[in-house]
Amino acid sequence: MTTTAVTGVPVETHLRARRDAGRKLLVPYVTAGVCENWTEHLHACAEAGADAIEIGLPFSEPTVDGPTVQEASDRALHRGTSLRTLLADLRTVRLAVPLIVMTYYHLVAREGLAAVCAALAEAGVRGLIVPDLPLDESAALEQAAAAAGIDLILVAAPSSSPARLREIAQRSRGFVYAVTAMATTGERTALPATAGAYAATLKQHTDLPVLLGFGISTPDHAAAGARSADGVVVGSALMRRILDGAGPADTAAFVTTLRTALDR
Amino acid sequence: MREPGANGRFGEFGGRFVPESLIPACAEVEEAFRDAWADAGFRRDLDRLLTVYAGRPTPVTPAWRLSAELGVDVLLKREDLAHTGSHKINNVLGQALLAVRMGRTRLIAETGAGQHGVATATAAALLGLSATVFMGGKDMARQALNVHRMRLLGAEVVEVTSGSRTLKDATSEAMRHWVTCVDEAYYCIGSVMGPHPYPWMVREFQRVIGAEARAQCAAELPKAVPDYVVACVGGGSNAAGTFAGFADTGAQLVGVEAAGGAAISNGGVAIMHGHRSYAIQDADGQILEAESIAAGLDYPGIGPEHAHLHELGRARYVTVTDGEVVDAVKRLARSEGILPALESAHAVAWVLRAAGTAELPAGSTVLITLSGRGDKDSNSLMEIQ
Ligand SMILES: Cc1ncc(COP(=O)(O)O)c(C=O)c1O
């Protein structure tokens, strides 16, 4: 058996160190393959102050994604994006912040959990988010990910029972992804009022960083979300700009505004 | 066909692959269904609606002339005679009663051919609920009559413009919508698919087809049980309900898929729309668009219990082409005076072929579930003529 080289920056140690130093965490989301130069947007995010970057590997049935990410996924799929192209593209990318892949369970399971985790690790990915894989089904992937040196980041929801919140907080690796609202991904006018309280509950159960995601659309939302959580994930607001033609420099400018708001 | 095992599995299929946000909603539906199904009062209410509203029991009609022509005894289970024109009403009345019992005021649903949407709109009207039905733009155009029916019944029909604009995309959209309204809306799934408990619950609500047919066959056939039990399969609810009545007999169970959407014959294992089963997919695992003349079979996947029955070898899954289906519609119309839905005609088409090739031995007895009537397909058929 060959041992796969694990490359890339570890998610948990990296985020923990920064959080413990008093920094609020910022994780932008970019859909893999959405445009020819999509990996340049990753560099732009890193340079503008992202603490980690979430990369979406699109699936034809994106049951947690709202219109913007769906559109980005469609565009990426039409451009021929697949696990293979993602791995190939990432081989050219080396960044000082951790890379996390978000995709649906079918695309992970069909290739074999161990094989996918090893391939991602070898391409420099150190975190994985699978939003349609609930706690009750995740044991096998938790093992495969751990064996490959990948943090399987679990998702908590406002509807999760206290017992499930505790278990999610305990079994998650890297950070806990706290969904802000009962909603799909997508830009919103306001951050739900309840997001803060439940992020605080999660923080009682774990010392891992807790990040709020879904609907964080403006620097103000980011700052508000990060008051109760350790940071935020920003997807649709960035992808809307990229879909409308924003280049890497525009991405950097937008991420800078988020960074500034978080650092204020 | 029993209750699914741990984690809602039929063998390795089924399960509950939904976002964490929806886990409590699925658990709540499961609990409510277990409670209702064990409650004689709920069963009585449902039975009464099935009788006085939906027109059950539906008859089994011997296909006299076709049987003579084929040399095979064909019986037709007449779901086309149920209210709203298809078997979909059985399941929807069950789920709508459950929704009321759970205190919900709104039904959400996805539909392909529109039959499940019409059934949902109907039950909502009957029970004083509101209904929102997601339908692919492509299906709305080709099933305009059913869109109109749903709107007349007071339902809101939401056009889905993402992906291939067919049933699979309407299903994804309905799931996305469900997250936003779990507290007031009940997701009324149209076939034996989705997260646990839906595949099991929908099969139980459709079991009435098989249970009635079993008793009717016993009265009709010297051997009591037919040699073959045949039903069309999109998601597979009419087939599951029919098979449930015969699973413990020696009858050969045959599910007929559309050639252009043959999840078992041409697909592979997939996790989508809340469960693990089979679906047609490309080399990268992206789910493919199904292609069938019958919008109700235009679904790339199949319910998880069918995947299990296939792996057990208990049921066999075969395909027929659109051309065979159109021939079957005409043949049944002219020999028996029954115009079947294009979906149902898939089951007829396989029997015609199998009798012709002696795959069905002369003298064998065959029960076909006619899942619905063909009026909704008049436009499609006129275009072909
Ligand atoms: C008449 C008819 N038969 C069959 C189907 C397919 O559903 P299932 O495979 O769940 O029975 C439909 C779906 O719309 C239908 O309208």
What confidence score (pLDDT) does residue A1 get? 40
The residue type at B46: L
> Comparing C-alpha atoms, which of A181, A182, A187, A175 is closest to residue A243?
A187
Within chain B, how many helices (H) and strands (E) appear? 15, 14
B341 CB near ligand 1 (under 6 Å): yes
H-type alpha helices, A21-130: 38-47, 67-78, 83-90, 105-109, 113-122
Task: State chain B's mean pLDDT as an integer.
Answer: 96
Q: Per DSSP, which regions of chain B are E strands?
A: 9-10, 13-17, 60-62, 73-78, 106-111, 130-136, 156-160, 185-187, 228-232, 252-258, 268-272, 274-279, 315-320, 365-370
> How far apart are the C-alpha atoms of B202 and B234, rounded to whole Å?
14
- B28 vs B35, B184, B273, CA distance in Å? 11, 13, 18
Cα A76 to ligand 1 centroid, rounded to whole Å: 33
Q: Is A123 helix (H, G, I), strand (E, B) or coil?
A: coil
CA angle A44, A48, A54 (to 5 degrees): 65
Residues of A in contact with B18 (CB under 8 A): 63, 132, 134
pLDDT score recorded for residue A96: 95
- What number of CA atoms fall less than 13 Å from residue A31's CA on the CB side? 32
Q: What is the pLDDT of residue B309?
A: 98
CB contact under 8 A, B287 and A60: yes
Give every residue of chain A whose pLDDT is below 50, as ranges: 1-2
The predicted structure's pLDDT at residue B92:
98
**What ipTM describes this predicted complex?**
0.95
Is cis: bond before B57, omega within 30 of 0?
A: yes
Query: What was the pLDDT predicted at B381?
Result: 82
Residues with Cβ within 8 Å of residue B151, at least 6 apart in sequence: B157
pLDDT of residue B385: 65
Classify residue B225 by its DSSP letter.
S
Ligand 1 near B142 CB (within 6 A): no
- Mean pLDDT in each 10-residue stretch from start to end of chain B (385 residues)? 91 97 97 98 98 98 98 98 97 98 98 94 98 96 92 98 91 95 97 98 98 97 97 98 98 97 95 97 96 90 98 98 97 98 97 96 97 89 76
Q: What is the pLDDT of residue A3?
A: 52
A61 contact B CB<8A: yes
Report pLDDT for A195.
Answer: 86
Enzyme catalytic residues of B: 88, 110, 371
